[in-house]
Structure 1
Amino acid sequence: MAKNDALGEYHSKRDLKRSGEPGGSRRGRKAARPRFVIQRHDASSLHFDFRLEIGDVLASWSIPKGPSLDPGDKRLAIRTEDHPLDYADFEGSIPEGEYGAGTVIVWDAGTFEHLGDGSAEDALDRGSLSFRLEGEKLHGAFTLVRTRGSRQEQWLLIKKDDEGADRRRKPAKTQPESVLTGRTNEDLA
């Protein structure tokens, strides 16, 4: 199978036979509504990998503190390489010496709806993407906004003040388990 050009950076960073990560096969049908997944990744530091199905890939950001339900929080989200669609179900332990070594669980998953004019791809290119999540742990509208003047592609993830907002609940700290298996990163370690 030919590698998707959009996944060139993904493939160049990994030895998939050693890491056990998906290589990019679609594994079945494309979802009727685009998916999102948030993976809790305990690598060199614990962080959350936020992924949105845009086109034929999972557009990806690393969120060091995890998503917040408080509209007053602006969470740093560093854009990373696109991932294959079949990465949405990946849980496992990436061995030492491999890129991203550490444990990965599916912390939250569901569907999302792009909000606003044009396509999600166009909004991403413009640097401001608004969307509504329907997940197991997260619900409601969020915006990703690219910051200016940074050397890395840095964004901010901001929760909109809607029915899914909650200034007191801290799911990134209080709900460490996988929505697929109920396991934690510590269970995989």
Structure 2
Amino acid sequence: MKERLRDYHGKRDFDRTREPEGRAGAAGAEPRFVVQIHDASTMHFDFRLQVGDVLKSWSVPKGPSGIPKDKRLAVPTEDHPLEYEEFEGVIPEGQYGGGTVIVWDHGTYEPLSHDREGRSVDFAESIEHGHATFRLHGSKLHGTYALTRFRGDEDESWLLVKKAEGRAGGHGAPDPRRARSVRSGRTLSQVAADDREK
């Protein structure tokens, strides 16, 4: 795990930030996911899936959509420790990712990746090969999604897409400034104000 979190540790000064260092690493029975809203230099959503003992992470500028076939750009970021699923607070100015973070949604997911013959594929392998399918069981996000890697002009990027299934409907991503944390019920501005009071 220490090797997988090398980039994460290299970007942070844990004497200044309250972000978790990632020393625990105990994985539960079902893999977890979290979606955090991050008001940093640019407002974005961080989409994280537990793969083994870390959270594989993508920055999703417009946030995940509950509308089938609605494509969302997802830019990979460094792996995060499992404890990051619970992180909510303010990353100090001058630190990597400085800004306010709330936990917009979290829950478990079912890996659904398979090969062309329909056989199950190890989820870490499917991420490595650039296409992973999974079913989210969150407080806000439900249903089957796919992450697919493509290569753009500059960096490797992915698309996060909800699959069409069952009844039609679904909602796009929320207004991040009005969205509330699934953990504390607070908005970004309330978390920032509470941090200033401390």
- Within 5 A, what are the aligned runs for 1:99-118? 99-116=96-113, 117-118=120-121
* 1:66 aligned partner, one-letter code: G
- Within 5 A, what are the aligned runs for 1:40-79? 40-79=37-76
- Residues of 1 paired with 2:31 and 2:166: CA distance? 21
* 1:10 aligned partner, one-letter code: Y
The offset of 1:46, in angstroms, is 1.0
The offset of 1:149, in angstroms, is 4.2
Asked if the contact 2:62–2:173 (Cα under 8 Å) also holds between the matched residues in 1, the reply is no
* 2:175 aligned partner, one-letter code: K
Instruction: List structure 1 segments (4+ residues) > 4 angstroms apart after TM superposition.
Output: none
* 1:8 aligned partner, one-letter code: R
Asked if the contact 1:110–1:136 (Cα under 8 Å) also holds between the matched residues in 2, the reply is yes
- Residues of 2 paired with 1:73 and 1:46: CA distance? 20
- Within 5 A, what are the aligned runs for 1:158-173? 158-163=161-166, 166-167=169-170, 169-173=171-175
1:165–1:140 CA distance, 2 compared to 1 (3 A): farther
Gaps (5+ residues) in structure 2? 114-119, 193-198
Match of 1:5 in 2: 3
The offset of 1:172, in angstroms, is 2.2
TM-score, normalised with respect to structure 2? 0.88
CA RMSD of aligned residues (A): 1.7
- Residues of 2 paired with 1:164 and 1:157: CA distance? 20
The offset of 1:153, in angstroms, is 2.2
Deviation readout 1:90-120 (Å, 9 max, x if unpaired): 0010011000000001100000011022111
SS at match of 2:135: strand
2:151 to 148, 152, 158: 148
The offset of 1:150, in angstroms, is 4.0
TM-score, normalised with respect to structure 1? 0.92
Match of 2:195 in 1: none
* 2:174 aligned partner, one-letter code: A
1:125 to 123, 128, 140: 128
- Residues of 1 paired with 2:5 and 2:74: CA distance? 20
Asked if the contact 1:107–1:179 (Cα under 8 Å) also holds between the matched residues in 2, the reply is yes
Asked if the contact 1:113–1:131 (Cα under 8 Å) also holds between the matched residues in 2, the reply is yes
Rg larger in structure? 2
Asked if the contact 1:159–1:165 (Cα under 8 Å) also holds between the matched residues in 2, the reply is no
1:188 aligns with 2:186: no
Q: How many residues align structurally?
A: 185
1:157 to 144, 150, 160: 160
1:107–1:135 CA distance, 2 compared to 1 (3 A): same
1:16 aligns with 2:18: no
* 1:119 aligned partner, one-letter code: D
